[in-house]
Amino acid sequence: MRIVVVGVGGLGGLYGAMLARHCEDLTFIARGPSLEALRARGLTVRSPSVGNFTVPVHATDDPEELDPPDLILFCVKSYDLEQAAEQIRPLVGPGTAVLPLLNGIDATARLGRIVGEGAVLVGISYARSTRTAPATIDHMANIKITLGEPTGGLSRRVEAVAQTLRGAAIDAEAHAAAELPLWEKLVAHGAFGGMAALTRLPLGPMLACQETRAMLLEVMLEIVAVGRARGVAIPDDCVDRIMAMAHGLPPGARPSLLEDLADGRRLELDSINGAIVQAGRDVSVPTPMNTAIYAALKPYVDGAPTLP
Residue 26: its pLDDT value, please?
A: 96
- In sequence order, which residues have a C-beta less than 8 Å from that of residue 265 and are 6 or more positions away? 303
Q: Is the pLDDT of residue 174 over 90?
A: yes
For 179-300, CATH gives 1.10.1040.10
DSSP string, 276-293: HHHHHHHTT---HHHHHH
Residue 25: its pLDDT value, please?
A: 93
Residue 229: its pLDDT value, please?
A: 98
Residue 232: its pLDDT value, please?
A: 96
CA-based diameter of the chain, in Å?
57
| Strand, helix or coil for residue 79 | helix
Alpha-carbon gap, residue 154 to 296, rounded angstroms: 40
Alpha-carbon gap, residue 57 to 50, rounded angstroms: 18
All CATH 3.40.50.720 domain ranges of the chain, comma separated, are: 3-174
Q: Is the pLDDT of residue 53 over 90?
A: yes
CA separation (Å) from 60 to 34, 37, 39, 130? 10, 12, 9, 21
All CATH 1.10.1040.10 domain ranges of the chain, comma separated, are: 179-300
Residue 58: its pLDDT value, please?
A: 95
For the chain, how far is it from start to end, CA to CA, in angstroms? Answer: 54
Give the orientation angle of helix 238-247 with respect to helix 179-188, to 10 degrees.
Answer: 50
What average pLDDT score do residues 210-222 get?
97
Which is nearest to 301 in space by CA: 260, 241, 240, 243? 260
The fold for domain 3-174 equals Rossmann fold (3.40.50)
What average pLDDT score do residues 271-300 get?
97
- Predicted TM-score of the model (pTM): 0.93
Q: What are the phi and psi torsion angles at 128 (to 5°)?
A: -105, 105
Q: Where are the alpha helices (DSSP H) in the chain?
A: 10-20, 32-41, 81-88, 107-115, 156-167, 179-188, 194-199, 203-208, 210-229, 238-247, 256-262, 273-282, 288-297
pLDDT bin (cut points 50, 70, 90) of residue 307 is confident
Q: Is the pLDDT of residue 44 over 90?
A: yes
For the chain, the 3-state helix, strand and coil shares in percent, each to the nearest 5, are 50, 15, 35
- In sequence order, which residues have a C-beta less than 8 Å from that of residue 7 and are 6 or more positions away? 29, 30, 74, 75, 76, 77, 84
Alpha-carbon gap, residue 175 to 226, rounded angstroms: 21
Four-CA torsion 46, 51, 54, 60, nearest 10 degrees: -70
What average pLDDT score do residues 59-82 get?
95
